[in-house]
Amino acid sequence: MILSKTAETVLRKRYLLKGENGEVVETPKQMFLRVANAIASAEEKYGNDPKPWAKKFFEIMWNQEFMPNSPTLMNAGTPLGQLSACFVIPVEDSIDGIFKALWDMAKVQKSGGGTGFSFSRIRPKGDIVKSTMGVASGPVSFMKIFDSATEQIKQGGKRRGANMGILRCDHPDIEEFIKAKWEEGSLRNFNISVAVTDKFMEAVKKNEDYELINPRTKEVVRKVSARKIFNLIVEGAWRNGEPGLVFIDEINRHNPTPHVGEIESTNPCGEQPLLPYESCNLGSINLAKFVKNGDFDWEKLKEVVQIAVRFLDDVIDVNGYPIPEIEEMTKANRKIGLGVMGWADALFLLGIPYDSEEALRMAERVMKLIREESHKASQVLAEERGVFPNWKGSVWEKLGIKMRNATTTTIAPTGTISIIANCSSGIEPVFALAYKRANVLDGEEFFEINPVFERVLREKGLYSEDLIAKVAETGSVQSTELPIDIKRVFKIALEIAPEWHVRMQASFQKYTDNAVSKTINLPNSATRADVEKAFMLAYELKCKGITVYRDGSREEQVLMIKKTEKEKEKPRRPAKFIEPRPRPKVTFGRTIETKTGCGSLYVTINEDSDGIAEVFVQLGKSGGCAASQTEAIGRLLSIALRSWVNPEVLIKQLKGIRCPSIGFDSGEMITSCADGVAKVLEKWLKGEYKKIKFEVEGIKPLTEFTEKEEGAEKEEKTKMIGGVCPECGNVLEYGEGCATCKFCGFTKCI
């Protein structure tokens, strides 16, 4: 096995076993042996010798041809023993049901799994609660509780939890749900998607109204314009990539066990639709390993598929399940999800452009073979071990096909396992062919280069340090002097039109039992109409869901590639610094209390005739450091506001700042004192607090602010490719419905 430096770092940090003092106590080879032996031990249950299978399992991992999902690599052969990545937990419409789901979520996430929920059964906001004759707060309010709980749980001691939150398009609270993540930092531990029906999508196309239905009474509440709701979804996706769409009817058309139940939700990245309490273990084949001298090795691929299916089926038997309901449902349907990674690298090696009809045909051919061979392998296991318990009544029983597994294929995110395999992620194009990598330990910078790109350049005698430095400025080869054929093949994600992203997803979906995790990357200049076009194309091409991401649309992003010529210009310094207007002798305002994790926070906002003149911030009766920090926040806000800085800009800077103690104020999560101040200030500007009548000296409150010209500041902003990694400070790449750091392996998903 050849491991990159990044892969070595990721393995040491996240996968290799550690001793009591945190020291690494196994090598990568020992890790793969541990995993192979643990999984092959299931063979004994069926009267087989586990040693030959352990050898085969080890070889396909060691050769970087196949990798199981992260929990399997981390936990196989350990006391924790939880090996699955995907779980769906039902949320019933009662306090007991909601908090049972919360408890189940905690158990799953503590063991290293990601959780998906449909909140569609929860009665809408304002509905009657008969037991108390009160009113319901609605699904979004409960999602905030789940989000806060996830914030406090670290998955298996390795990373934060990840959730998918889904609401049906016909739920009365759908507008609130769609807007739930418009505010940066809200529901940060959730991906959210709207479950849209065929009826809804057809109403959008015909510009008709559709019905919103109370899930408690099953009665129609009102009718709304489908186009209006769809436009809100588009707006949110254009703003920051959320919500996505889940085509719930298309999913249930392919539900292999409809007699068991209806699918309502997916796992966090959307590729695994599951029944309530189902889990699924995943694995991915590195397609780049099957390209030999410009040709694809189909026979070798068949062989690896057959071994991988057996591996994943064995995982079900040796798995340690976090709760009994999950074990029961998982073993009843025995779903597995074999997928792919290294697709962009494979196309590079084959000399096929990602955005070409040839690439789409190749995608269908590859995935068709994988599905056919995985079904054959499952049928062999069914003869040897028996069909899955819910086979009778399933689609397979109606077809007369004996299957060991209800499903066999899934295209899942491969963020960290693709780093270990030293290949591109999933079916995504690459985000950059080369870029600067910062070493946070010693402050050095060096180039990270796509290994296939480097190999091709060296083979053609085109490699040079100067060339790589130029490519690293933008991540792209399009502005270089390289030959046209290289420029055509080696395109990066943002150079590929959205239509080709969607068509590639649909090509893989055509031969995938479950679903496909992929992000439709859009340039920053993309319009809302571009988002709508991608959504409608995904629906027409029978995708099971879609996530879009417009480059640079999230505040958390940072510069990772070169600025345009205009952006390079330094902001001009004004002739003299702006002096804040003097503090007025008379101001009028109010003091607002908000709850934080550290106690009651009191924010006093005072206005004069020019607007907000000062802000005072006090945290209860605190003294010392806490008092000085809150005083500092107030002083800086006051100076900035009297210097004519747009208060919306200040709110953005403070909002979402986090401290270890999180509180709730009237159901709203307050992540820190700074966040609490920002939210009070925001509500003040919206007029949510009672207006004050000024009668002294003719002063009137100013309710509108003149926004300062931001030209120079905007020009200083840079083209953005990913977010800031909270662990190493390098770039996060948005792909496969998730954000992943290719440098240290941090991921927000499983």
CATH code of the domain containing 386: 3.20.70.20
pLDDT at 27 over 80: yes
Q: Give me the sign of the Cα torsion angle 498, 508, 83, 285.
A: negative
What SS3 class is residue 266? strand
Question: Could you tell me if 602 and 664 lie in one domain?
Answer: yes
pLDDT at 154 over 70: no
Mean pLDDT of 483-512: 97
Instruction: Establish if 480 belongs to a structural domain.
Output: yes
Question: Could you tell me if 247 and 209 lie in one domain?
Answer: yes
Total count of domains within the chain: 4
Instruction: Establish if 698 belongs to a structural domain.
Output: yes
Residue range(s) defining the domain that contains residue 197: 86-253
Q: What is the pLDDT of residue 562?
A: 43
Instruction: Establish if 277 belongs to a structural domain.
Output: no
Instruction: Establish if 573 belongs to a structural domain.
Output: no
What SS3 class is residue 171? coil
> Which phi and psi angles does 662 have, rounded to 5°?
-105, 140
Question: Could you tell me if 193 and 161 lie in one domain?
Answer: yes
* Known active-site residue 267: yes
Question: Could you tell me if 71 and 206 lie in one domain?
Answer: no
Peptide bond into 243 cis (omega under 30): yes
Mean pLDDT of 401-418: 96
Q: What is the pLDDT of residue 578?
A: 67
Most confident of 524-528, 657-661, 731-735: 524-528
pLDDT in tens, 387-409: 999 999 999 999 999 999 999 99
Instruction: Establish if 216 belongs to a structural domain.
Output: yes
Most confident of 385-399, 654-668, 736-750: 385-399
Q: What is the pLDDT of residue 580?
A: 83
Question: Could you tell me if 239 and 99 lie in one domain?
Answer: yes
Catalytic option among 86, 169, 269, 598: 269
Local structure of residue 430 (DSSP, 8 states)? P
Which one of 384, 419, 454 terminates a domain?
A: 419
Question: Could you tell me if 356 and 437 lie in one domain?
Answer: no
Catalytic option among 69, 189, 267, 730: 267
Range with lowest mean pLDDT among 185-199, 227-241, 359-373, 716-730: 716-730
Return mean pLDDT, the chain: 88
pLDDT at 199 over 90: yes
pLDDT at 704 over 80: no
Picking from 115, 122, 152, the residue whose alpha carbon sits closest to that of residue 136 is 122
What SS3 class is residue 595? strand
Residues with Cβ < 8 Å from 187, sequence gap 6 or more?
143, 144, 147, 165, 180, 181
Cα dist from 433 to 80, 415, 740, whole Å? 38, 17, 16
Question: Could you tell me if 40 and 108 lie in one domain?
Answer: no
pTM higher than the cut 0.85: no
Instruction: Establish if 516 belongs to a structural domain.
Output: no
Residues with Cβ < 8 Å from 378, sequence gap 6 or more?
309, 313, 403, 404, 405, 408
* Known active-site residue 744: no
Residues with Cβ < 8 Å from 295, sequence gap 6 or more?
none
Question: Could you tell me if 98 and 178 lie in one domain?
Answer: yes
Question: Could you tell me if 298 and 332 lie in one domain?
Answer: yes
How many angstroms separate the CA atoms of 406 and 392, rounded? 11
How many angstroms separate the CA atoms of 363 and 371, rounded? 12
Instruction: Establish if 569 belongs to a structural domain.
Output: no
Q: What is the pLDDT of residue 622?
A: 56
Instruction: Establish if 567 belongs to a structural domain.
Output: no
Picking from 269, 398, 270, 288, the residue whose alpha carbon sits closest to that of residue 340 is 288
pLDDT in tens, 47-96: 999 999 999 999 999 999 999 999 999 999 999 999 998 899 999 999 99
Question: Could you tell me if 60 and 173 lie in one domain?
Answer: no
Question: Could you tell me if 398 and 307 lie in one domain?
Answer: yes
How many angstroms separate the CA atoms of 308 and 381, rounded? 12
Q: What is the pLDDT of residue 720?
A: 38
* Known active-site residue 269: yes
Question: Could you tell me if 413 and 449 lie in one domain?
Answer: no
606 vs 364, which has greater pLDDT?
364
How many angstroms separate the CA atoms of 171 and 150, rounded? 25
Alpha helices in 270-356 (DSSP H): 298-318, 324-333, 343-350
Mean pLDDT of 617-639: 80
Catalytic option among 65, 250, 271, 682: 271
